[in-house]
Structures are given as structure tokens and as C-alpha cells.
Structure 1
Amino acid sequence: PLPSRTTATTRIQKSSNFGYITSCYKAVNSKDDLPYCLRRIHGFRLVNTKCMVLVDMWKKIQHSNIVTLREVFTTKAFAEPSLVFAYDFHAGGETMMSRHFNDPNADAYFTKRKWGQHDGPLPRQHAGLLPESLIWAYIVQLSSALRTIHTAGLACRVMDPTKILITGKTRLRVNCVGVFDVLTFDNSQNNNPLALMAQYQQADLISLGKVVLALACNSLAGIQRENLQKAMELVTINYSSDLKNLILYLLTDQNRMRSVNDIMPMIGARFYTQLDAAQMRNDVIEEDLAKEVQNGRLFRLLAKLGTINERPEFQKDPTWSETGDRYLLKLFRDHLFHQVTEAGAPWIDLSHIISCLNKLDAGVPEK
């Protein structure tokens, strides 16, 4: 099982999101030898298999900000009926909750003050609050994930800090997609499993607004109903009007059906900032990859040299004796690795090694 961030003495409790006891495991698939994350729903009996229509739709979604659902199956391997969701495994990932909402002092601004006490100092950017550029980076990624999900006719339903994974510095992935579609599948939906998706999609936008507001306040207490006005005042003072308007649009009940595309004008040119950052990161990764390609080429040369040189078990075999080409390779090996300083001490000269190996690979007629 993957270790949780709770203490070992904590009793197993039902998930506040799914209403069932859940566990996570890292497992290796015997077919492709790749690691996957298995989320087990304890004690769940799958009564209606027609919900698998939605699972098949989720399997088809491939997006850079969504943890891909690979398979859903039932099992009794845990001594009780369980439902297991298999997702791609992302090593080193942590939830948005643990990254940004793990400080117990962050809620101090919103906690009710006692008689005779005054409000604490107003949080500011870079002094208790997140930088606005980071919040917009998260908004672009989360809205992009929602756009893909809604376009496919589905709803996220897990837009929550405990279900958003962060890998690296700012890379987000929405986790646990498709779980609610199976757990809350209603038999009355037999004819049309997608009947309530429009309603769930509207709820996704409200959930996105709550996540953005919580990030702007750097506190989950800010999204509580009694603190909304205070939270919006904090956003107004510290952040741009675009961020404030985006939060208000997502959280305010509209008289019409809304779409995630409606917030694109509010994101505006900030989208290009994220695009530039992604392309610059891609350039860095490609440069590192090119270096590893060269390293792999040189390693294959060394592997061949090491396989041929110094084979005493073949001394009596004329084809393996060190008198022909193999003797030249032995001399080359000594020339490659047995460098010495002017004082005669052994010396590691990496530039000499790499230069000679490249000349050997290219067939340079140098003597």
C-alpha cells in the first residue's frame, strides 16, 4: 500500500469524498511490467454493470492534466468484495492539500476572534499568500482538464484539493476520475447514464471556483459560507481584477448554463505565459535527452570492448587470441583508460576518453 500522510495510530475512516473506506496500492502489471496506482473501494458490491459504459468513456480520455483511468474491476482478494480502479502511477506526486493547505496557522485570518482581540495582520503575496502567477498556472491546467472532460460528455466530480496531484513544481493532474460515476450510479439511469451530466458539469465549475478561492486565500477556511465576503475582500486587495472576476463568475449562480470556455477571456494572454513555460521546459528536456542519447552510444561501444578484451578462457582459440585485431583493441583499451600525469600517477581524463570513443565510432583514420 502507498503510505498515507496520516499517523499510524489513526483508525481507518470513510473517505470524506466517496463515503467508503478507500486504500491506495502501487502494483506492477504482469503484462507490461509498468507500475500502476490501484485505488480500492472497501466493501463495495457492483450491482449494475451498465455503469461500465461511463468507465469506457473515461478510458478514452488522454490529457496531460488528468490521471488516466486504465481499468476497473471487482475482486475478493482482500477477504471482502472490493472495487478497484487502476490509474497511471506518477512517482513523487503529492496532493494540493498537502502542498498548500497543510499549515494549521494559515486559517488564522478567518478564525473567529475572541472578545477583546483584533484581526491578525492582513496576508500579502509572498508573505502568507501564493503568487498570482502560480494561481493562474493552476487555473490554466485545471480549466484545460475540465474542458476536455466536458467535451467528452462527462463530468469531473472530484475537483477537490485532496484529489488534485502536483508533480514537480507546478504540474497538476486531476486524480480519481470516474470513481463517482460508478459509486453513485443509479438504476434509474439505465436508459441514459449521461442524463445528469449537465448538472454535474455545472457543479464542476463551482468546485473549480472554490479551489481557486482557497488558493488565493491560502486557506480552506476561506471557502466556507460565513467567510466568503472576507475572502473576496482579501482577493480584491492582493490580486488582479481578472482573478476576482473569475472567482465571482464561477461561484455566482447564473440563470443560464455555463461553460468552462466562458473563463477563457479572463485568462487571456496568461495562457501564452504557460505555453512559453511549457515549451522552454520541453527544450531543456530535449537537450538532456540528446546528451543521454550520446551517453548510450558511448556505453554500447564500451560494452563491446569489455566483452572482447581479456577472455583467458579462449586463449587456445586462434580466433580469440590477442595477436590480431583483438590485440589492437587491448592496446586501445590501455590507451583509453591508463592515462597518467607528468609525475606518472594514474589520471582520469574524461575528455580524452570521450574524444577517443567518438573517433572510434566515427572510424577516424588517426594513428
Structure 2
Amino acid sequence: MVFPNYHIYPPTAPHVAYMQPKANAPSFFMADELRQELINRHLITMAQIDQADMPAVPTEVDSYHSLFPLEPLPPPNRIQKSSNFGYITSCYKAVNSKDDLPYCLRRIHGFRLVNTKCMVLVDMWKKIQHSNIVTLREVFTTKAFAEPSLVFAYDFHAGGETMMSRHFNDPNADAYFTKRKWGQHEGPLPRQHAGLLPESLIWAYIVQLSSALRTIHTAGLACRVMDPTKILITGKTRLRVNCVGVFDVLTFDNSQNNNPLALMAQYQQADLISLGKVVLALACNSLAGIQRENLQKAMELVTINYSSDLKNLILYLLTDQNRMRSVNDIMPMIGARFYTQLDAAQMRNDVIEEDLAKEVQNGRLFRLLAKLGTINERPEFQKDPTWSETGDRYLLKLFRDHLFHQVTEAGAPWIDLSHIISCLNKLDAGVPEKISLISRDEKSVLVVTYSDLKRCFENTFQELIAAANGQL
């Protein structure tokens, strides 16, 4: 077997190359869409506030610092409470000084924790790790906000937006239920005119949400926050259930005979109804569709525009049953669509792995250029002003010109990224291939191998390192 003796960039794997449309972007680097998404996440992760503009935000809360509001802060004199939790809440990004990682802090204003037995449930939540659940890390009380507050610390997922803002932010979407009267049209409008979501997207959401519920219920807990305002969407279709465990602490009843899990079965049944409401709202593309007076019209909309499987799943979740239901009951209704989602996830993984393969060598090439930059054109070393122009350093200077400063026969700059990458890879591997280095006055030509250049490169850099460490 013969392998290349220097680092190379292979072409895109065929199963990925034929998966997506060909782009005009260079194949050396990741796709622009993925790059932009990652950059946006980094920007959000590194965002900070000007403390002078927001004096109400403390500099530190327990072991967290660099707080950054993730949503508009409620006014100081606000009386209206959250429609979900019954308390005024606010949300921040913060960095934990213990591990220097970013987290999301959900603050419950003015809450005094009088019973610590609920921490049993918090400990159960902290053990749950699932790809569709925002993990709860800790719960603590603080007076850093000038009033007693309860804070829930979750994993931070930069760039996430709620399902409410992604799909239910259009005021015109409710027009079908709020403005039309019976008899105006013969049945609901077709999907292409009603602006409804594709059924494949709804099933993708169902698979993820049911998977999250299955894990939560198996652990003996209940979600209790299956609501569009508490479901995060990152990327195109990735869902995560947020704010888990909040209700377990806020509504903890000390009279539950020392059994904090006494009502979990009841809450789990409520989770299934909440899941049905979320799916129905998605199918109608409107929160007005889940209101009791609109249910009949909403189901007619679903019947005309979607498959019978989706309609039956919604009816099963929303209809009272004479027995205890389980999230596993809807698995047969999902059926083979689960494999569609699995296939989509694996294809997405193939694309991301291919993008990673394009970038995996970039750190090594950057280190080569950084080392080369510390050597070339150094004005003085060990009181020798000609150090960078003599000996091994002169060869490296000519190699730098060979990399970056070549010109065409007409004297125009010749710029070829593949030439730069190929030469750097050969230098790093020290291949025996010969190269011609021409002086700037074109009066001398030096023929050397990449292995010679690598020896010069490493010896010179080690000389600089030794001087920097005081060993010379």
C-alpha cells in the first residue's frame, strides 16, 4: 500500500457530494450557511452588557458572573405575573466561575423557598440527559437582585428561539378562526393558501417531543412545561424542552404525605394533553385553534390538509380516556416516520462530518504560518540585525516569497490558495520533493528539498523559543 507522505485534502465523499446542490464556494472550508450559524452562536455566547446602561443587573449572582439578559427585563414596578409560572420571571446568560462555561439562568422574582424537600425532584431532574431537553444544572436562592429570588441554572443553547416566536408570531395566522364566519367558504382553505406547516416538519417535532416526554416519564417525573413558549428551536428543526423542574419547585405542596411524587401520574396525563395542544396548534399554524370554541373548525382543517394518522394522534391525545395513557401509546401512530427522522438526522451528521473534515487541518496550518511569521523579517535577534537575512533564515524568507509573492509573466500577482496549502503541507511533512527558490533580484536560484526546509524551520524556531525562555 502506498500512502501520501504529506498532509492532503481529499475530495468530498460521494455520498455527501451528491446529497446537496453544488455550491460555488471553495471546497477547502465549511459551507457558508453552517459557518454563519456557528458565528452567530459565538457572538451570542460572548455578548456582554454595559453595566452603566443596566445597573439593575448585578455583576455576580452566586458563582455566576457576566450576566446578559436574554429577553427584555420586566419594569421594576411591574405587577402582571407570568402567564406560565404565576411569578414575574427574567432570563439571563451567565458564566459560571467554577468551570468558565456559559449557562442560562431563569430567575423567579420575589420567591422564598420555604421547603427544601422539593430538592429531591431537582436532583432527579439533574440526572436527566437527553438531546431534546435543556438540562437543569442547579437551583439556588439569592438576594443579589435586591429581593429574594429563586434561580434555575440550565445549559445555554446560543441562538435558540421559542416555538412561539418561530411559528406563532404572525398576527394574521389567527384570521381563519377570528374573522371568518360559518358559511363564507365551503370548508377550510387548502394548505397552499392557508400557509400551513409541512406535515413532515410537524412529524419531526412530534418525534422529538414524544422522545423527550418518554425519557421524563420513564424517570418518574412530569414535564409540565409542554408549551410553545417553553420549547426552544435551534437550527432548522432541533427542539429542546426548556424550564423543566420549575413547576415542581414553585407548586410543591408540603402536605403530600412526604411523597413529592404523589401527583406525578396525574401530571403525566396532563403532559399528553399539552402535547396534543402543541401538535394541533402547529397543524393549524395558530394558537387560536386550540381554544375550546374553535376545536371543531381546527380538526376540520387538520382532516382536509393532513393525513389521518396525524388527525388520529391529535384526537387520541386530546380525548379523555377511561384508562391511564402512556406516551408509548402514540409510537404506532408515528410508525415508519420515525425512520424518516432517523435518516434525516444521519444525513445531517454526514454533512457536518464532511464540513469538519475540511477544517480539521486548519489549526495545524495556522500554527505553521504563525511560526513562520515569528522568523521572517525579524529586525534583530541576539543583537544581530542581519539574523533574518542569513543562513537558514534566508531560505525561509525565500520560501515565504515562494508561497505568497509569486507573479505571472505579465507581472500581476499570482494568487492560488491550493498552492499555499499544498506547499505548507509538504513543509510540515518534510517530503523529499525538490523546490526552486529564487532571490528577489533573480540573480540566484537555490534548489532545496522540503525536508531541508523543515529542518531549517524547526531549528530556527527552537532557537527563538530558547531565547524567549532565557536559555541562550
What is the TM-score when the length of structure 1 is the normalising length? 0.92
Residue 114 and residue 131 in structure 1: after superposition, are their counterparts in 2 closer, same or farther (change >3 A)? closer
* Residue matched to 1:7: none
Quote how far apart the aligned CAs of 1:231 are: 0.9
Tell me, in whole angstroms, the C-alpha distance in 2 between the residues paired with 1:254 and 1:114. Answer: 32
Residue 126 and residue 307 in structure 1: after superposition, are their counterparts in 2 closer, same or farther (change >3 A)? farther
Q: Identify which range, 115-124 or 323-332, moves more after superposition.
A: 115-124
Render the CA deviation track for 1:68-127: whole Å, top value 9, x for unaligned: 111111000111000011111111111111111111111111126569966896252564
Is the Cα–Cα contact under 8 Å of residues 202 and 257 in structure 1 kept in the other structure? Answer: yes
Residue 319 and residue 194 in structure 1: after superposition, are their counterparts in 2 closer, same or farther (change >3 A)? farther
Residue 103 and residue 325 in structure 1: after superposition, are their counterparts in 2 closer, same or farther (change >3 A)? same
Is the Cα–Cα contact under 8 Å of residues 197 and 282 in structure 2 kept in the other structure? Answer: yes
Tell me, in whole angstroms, the C-alpha distance in 2 between the residues paired with 1:30 and 1:346. Answer: 50
Q: Secondary structure at the match of 2:262?
A: coil
Q: Secondary structure at the match of 1:125?
A: helix
Residue 319 and residue 219 in structure 1: after superposition, are their counterparts in 2 closer, same or farther (change >3 A)? same
Quote how far apart the aligned CAs of 1:346 are: 2.4
Tell me, in whole angstroms, the C-alpha distance in 2 between the residues paired with 1:142 and 1:199. Answer: 19
Q: Identify which range, 272-281 or 111-120, moves more after superposition.
A: 111-120
Is the Cα–Cα contact under 8 Å of residues 196 and 285 in structure 2 kept in the other structure? Answer: yes
Tell me, in whole angstroms, the C-alpha distance in 1 between the residues paired with 2:311 and 2:116. Answer: 43
* Residue matched to 2:308: 241
Q: Identify which range, 298-307 or 118-127, moves more after superposition.
A: 118-127
Residue 123 and residue 108 in structure 1: after superposition, are their counterparts in 2 closer, same or farther (change >3 A)? farther
Quote how far apart the aligned CAs of 1:229 are: 1.2
Q: Identify which range, 336-345 or 149-158, moves more after superposition.
A: 336-345
Q: Identify which range, 278-287 or 117-126, moves more after superposition.
A: 117-126
Q: Secondary structure at the match of 2:220?
A: coil
Residue 279 and residue 330 in structure 1: after superposition, are their counterparts in 2 closer, same or farther (change >3 A)? same
Residue 115 and residue 323 in structure 1: after superposition, are their counterparts in 2 closer, same or farther (change >3 A)? closer
Is the Cα–Cα contact under 8 Å of residues 276 and 317 in structure 2 kept in the other structure? Answer: yes
* Residue matched to 1:214: 281
Is the Cα–Cα contact under 8 Å of residues 216 and 235 in structure 1 kept in the other structure? Answer: yes
Residue 325 and residue 240 in structure 1: after superposition, are their counterparts in 2 closer, same or farther (change >3 A)? same
Quote how far apart the aligned CAs of 1:63 are: 0.9
Q: Secondary structure at the match of 2:180?
A: coil
Is the Cα–Cα contact under 8 Å of residues 236 and 244 in structure 1 kept in the other structure? Answer: yes
Quote how far apart the aligned CAs of 1:41 are: 0.3
Tell me, in whole angstroms, the C-alpha distance in 2 between the residues paired with 1:12 and 1:25. Answer: 21
Is the Cα–Cα contact under 8 Å of residues 2 and 26 in structure 1 kept in the other structure? Answer: no
Q: Secondary structure at the match of 2:361?
A: helix
Tell me, in whole angstroms, the C-alpha distance in 2 between the residues paired with 1:155 and 1:243. Answer: 24
Tell me, in whole angstroms, the C-alpha distance in 1 between the residues paired with 2:377 and 2:363. Answer: 23
Quote how far apart the aligned CAs of 1:227 are: 1.1
Residue 33 and residue 78 in structure 1: after superposition, are their counterparts in 2 closer, same or farther (change >3 A)? same
Q: Identify which range, 159-168 or 188-197, moves more after superposition.
A: 188-197
Is the Cα–Cα contact under 8 Å of residues 157 and 177 in structure 1 kept in the other structure? Answer: yes
Render the CA deviation track for 1:160-190: whole Å, top value 9, x for unaligned: 0111111111111111001000000111136
Q: 2:360 aligns with which of 288, 293, 304?
A: 293
Is the Cα–Cα contact under 8 Å of residues 232 and 239 in structure 2 kept in the other structure? Answer: yes
Q: Secondary structure at the match of 1:40?
A: strand
Q: 1:356 aligns with which of 423, 443, 447?
A: 423
* Residue matched to 1:104: 171
Match status 1:80 vs 2:151: no
Quote how far apart the aligned CAs of 1:12 are: 6.4
Quote how far apart the aligned CAs of 1:262 are: 0.7
Q: Secondary structure at the match of 1:165?
A: strand
Residue 190 and residue 41 in structure 1: after superposition, are their counterparts in 2 closer, same or farther (change >3 A)? farther
Is the Cα–Cα contact under 8 Å of residues 190 and 304 in structure 2 kept in the other structure? Answer: no
* Number of equivalent positions: 361
Tell me, in whole angstroms, the C-alpha distance in 1 between the residues paired with 2:202 and 2:240. Answer: 15
Residue 341 and residue 58 in structure 1: after superposition, are their counterparts in 2 closer, same or farther (change >3 A)? same
Is the Cα–Cα contact under 8 Å of residues 95 and 165 in structure 1 kept in the other structure? Answer: yes
Quote how far apart the aligned CAs of 1:136 are: 0.3
Provide the alpha-carbon RMSD of the alignment.
Answer: 3.3
Is the Cα–Cα contact under 8 Å of residues 93 and 165 in structure 1 kept in the other structure? Answer: yes
Q: Identify which range, 301-310 or 166-175, moves more after superposition.
A: 301-310
Residue 319 and residue 254 in structure 1: after superposition, are their counterparts in 2 closer, same or farther (change >3 A)? farther
Tell me, in whole angstroms, the C-alpha distance in 2 between the residues paired with 1:220 and 1:11. Answer: 26
Residue 293 and residue 19 in structure 1: after superposition, are their counterparts in 2 closer, same or farther (change >3 A)? same
Tell me, in whole angstroms, the C-alpha distance in 1 between the residues paired with 2:122 and 2:417. Answer: 54
Quote how far apart the aligned CAs of 1:321 are: 5.4
Unaligned runs of 5+ in 2: 1-71, 433-470
Render the CA deviation track for 1:278-327: whole Å, top value 9, x for unaligned: 11111111111111111112111111111222222305359965433222
Residue 323 and residue 190 in structure 1: after superposition, are their counterparts in 2 closer, same or farther (change >3 A)? farther
Tell me, in whole angstroms, the C-alpha distance in 2 between the residues paired with 1:76 and 1:36. Answer: 19
Tell me, in whole angstroms, the C-alpha distance in 1 between the residues paired with 2:367 and 2:376. Answer: 14
Tell me, in whole angstroms, the C-alpha distance in 1 between the residues paired with 2:404 and 2:302. Answer: 63
Is the Cα–Cα contact under 8 Å of residues 2 and 25 in structure 1 kept in the other structure? Answer: no
Residue 12 and residue 101 in structure 1: after superposition, are their counterparts in 2 closer, same or farther (change >3 A)? farther
Q: Which has the larger radius of gyration?
A: 2
Render the CA deviation track for 1:175-226: whole Å, top value 9, x for unaligned: 1001000000111136211111111011000000000011111111111111
Residue 321 and residue 104 in structure 1: after superposition, are their counterparts in 2 closer, same or farther (change >3 A)? closer
Is the Cα–Cα contact under 8 Å of residues 164 and 228 in structure 2 kept in the other structure? Answer: yes
Tell me, in whole angstroms, the C-alpha distance in 1 between the residues paired with 2:423 and 2:309. Answer: 59
Tell me, in whole angstroms, the C-alpha distance in 2 between the residues paired with 1:238 and 1:117. Answer: 19
What is the TM-score when the length of structure 2 is the normalising length? 0.72
Q: Identify which range, 99-108 or 322-331, moves more after superposition.
A: 322-331
Quote how far apart the aligned CAs of 1:17 are: 0.4
Residue 319 and residue 260 in structure 1: after superposition, are their counterparts in 2 closer, same or farther (change >3 A)? farther
Is the Cα–Cα contact under 8 Å of residues 125 and 131 in structure 1 kept in the other structure? Answer: no
Quote how far apart the aligned CAs of 1:264 are: 0.6
Is the Cα–Cα contact under 8 Å of residues 155 and 197 in structure 1 kept in the other structure? Answer: yes
Tell me, in whole angstroms, the C-alpha distance in 2 between the residues paired with 1:247 and 1:121. Answer: 18
Tell me, in whole angstroms, the C-alpha distance in 2 between the residues paired with 1:309 and 1:12. Answer: 66
Q: Secondary structure at the match of 1:310?
A: coil
Identity %: 99
